[in-house]
Structure 1
Amino acid sequence: MPSIKSLAATLATAIVPFALAAETIHESEQASFSVETVASGLEHPWAIAFLPDGSQLVTERAGRLRVIRDGKLEKDPVAGVPEVAARGQGGLLDILLHPEFEQNRLLFLSYAHANDAGMTTRVARAELNDNNLENLEVIFEAEPRSDTTRHFAGRMVIPDDGYLYVTVGDRGEMDRAQEFGDDAGAVHRITIDGNTPDDNPFADRDDARKTLFTKGNRNIQGMTLHPETGEIWSHEHGPRGGDEVNVIEAGTNYGWPEITYGINYSGTPITDQTHKEGMAQPLHYWDPSIAPSGMAFYTGEDFPDWQGDLFVGALKMQKLVRLELDGREVTGEEDLLTDLNKRIRAVTMGADGHLWLLTDAGNGEVLKLVPTER
């Protein structure tokens, strides 16, 4: 029978590796950091929002809105979430708080919805009171619907102009991205009540949807505001190669599928053109594809050398990408967290000044990056 001393030594050696693993230090070119797990047990979390009281709201693609309070995931989801079609890539997607949330309690949810005519992307507005969504109203619905279960997009931002910008993917039917009478493959601009601003770039075209702000976008799953210029930056999935980073500008056609740096998943060409007059070039692209999702500019104080860098999550390549910028020019690129082996769905600057991540898995996690000593 082993002695108490030998048992204690065995226990100590078992505990030490676990403790070291919990404090794994990740080295960037410009920073040293660890990854803190805030919450786990989420079913394919998609987006996160930070409430004024310091708690967080997280969407699960299965159709639940969860609350993290005081660092703990609450058991009961928020009541009153709209009916969601969690099929294929569809489900409950983005969440965005109104800039004056403290006063009006308004938030916005994007999600996939299904009926007899097929599936589509919707946006609903509601008031959050206690643990309930009240006065929920659908303020945007992309038309026409489709039977496909792909490329719903769904990212949202509200810049300084006070309008809501929402992305809609091409629904896996690429030619729709160049059809101006179709809501697919685009960024849309609406008021918070769901009305169409009079100065939308295609509002005077008889053949165009009035809410269109851009066209030729394949599937934008990252969108954020530049902290200094207020510009809307985005990235979108390419097919096999050709993921893009773009600045979203009124009336711009981003070219999909008439121009692309990618090819079909089968290996066959989509087009032999990467440039075309009247269509925008990306600021940056990846080939092979990293399957980008989520993006944020770093504006915190923990990592001074990261100030102004753009961070992008990767699903397929399972990493966090840091892009160094000089204005709109990408001057450097670094891959981080390649050893986590986790699909990164969302990248968000938290109200606490930390960079927060969501991992896309059946047992998805909420993570944040915290500084460590080199």
Structure 2
Amino acid sequence: MSKQPTISTSEYEKRRQSVLKGLKDSIGLVFAGDGGAELHGSWRPNPNFEYLTGITDEPGAAVLLDPLQKISSKQVTLFLKPLNPEVEKWDGARDFIDSKLIAKYGIKSIFRSERLPRVLNAAACKAKKLACLQAFANHDRPVSADLAIFTKVAQRIPGCAIVDKTDLLAKLRAVKSASEQACVREAGRITSLGFESVLRTMKPGMNEFDVQEMLEHAYRSNGSRGPAYNTIAGGGFNGTVLHYGANEQELKDGDLIVIDSGADFRGYAADVTRTYPVNGRFTARQKEIYSIVLKALDASIAKVRAGCTFQQIDKAARDIINKAGYGDYFFHGIGHHLGLEVHDITPDQPLKKGAVITVEPGIYIADECLGVRIEDDVVVTKDGCINLTKSIPRSIAGIQKMMRS
């Protein structure tokens, strides 16, 4: 059995060093976020925190980055919530801060969170510059955690400024390392097993939820911790609703079903959409629309390469759909970055080699209860791209053959 991909502690260290270099003479602070998993599923940290540390089980943690520290081992400090024996009776034991924990995380400076205000204040007094790394929220949303605490600190230190470094992590996360690409590839492989299960089993009379259950059972049975996002399984008219999520209607003979789903692997997401005939056979009209969308997908994937933009990729698909007379029925963008978030952080720049993106044209004709979307995940290369999800059947002949089997 081949070894499963993973992210090493040395890679997390390399990421932190890249951020320290980008901070220059300012202080950065990234919070994991609060919360817990009590009785309602697993907790996920802030993706920027996970990207820098790999830690996924410490709500309330934070990592301080101080490039002005002369001792390199103190340039990165991890803060963890205090141990609480009463809470741990319910939620499980947590680690002591010792040499084993330092080796586990690859961070030599670790303290409990009550020490954060003192350490941050000392760093701010020295640097007089606090850098926001977390994307700023709209005015009607809560202020980002780093900006909120920096505002309080700056009010108490004359001459201390708050600067914008929100593009720093965005640009780093937009280019995936070989190990990150391997994780997305594995997520795609596991996703393919789920779609294959659906193709071989789905039939009229089943419920949309049955399709969701088949997919997600396959994910968890093959090394995933579950879906990377809420599965969409929309039959008939529901397939024309982009973010349909009820998944509760009976699948009817003669309808198409739009399935948008992807497995999570070690925090990295796959994001795949396929459109299948519920009874295993496309009608002539369904073939017509499906063929247009598939042609648009192939044309847009052919445009992907380092240096191109989403606008250029979108145009390749939209030109084909417009020419066919269905431009008004393709009303969303062509794709997005993919990684620790299914709609991963996206810097305002052309695509770079190593980016992982989705490509997903569609046509949605509500009056005919006819929706088609096809989506693949690709890695951007110098001269093109590598399709990570092409093994999941998408040709009309391939789909019908597998459904007959």
Question: Do Structure 1 and Structure 2 share a fold, with TM-score over 0.5?
Answer: no
TM-score by length of 2: 0.23
Structure number, greater radius of gyration:
2
TM-score by length of 1: 0.24
Q: Which has the higher strand share?
A: 1
Q: Which has the higher helix share?
A: 2
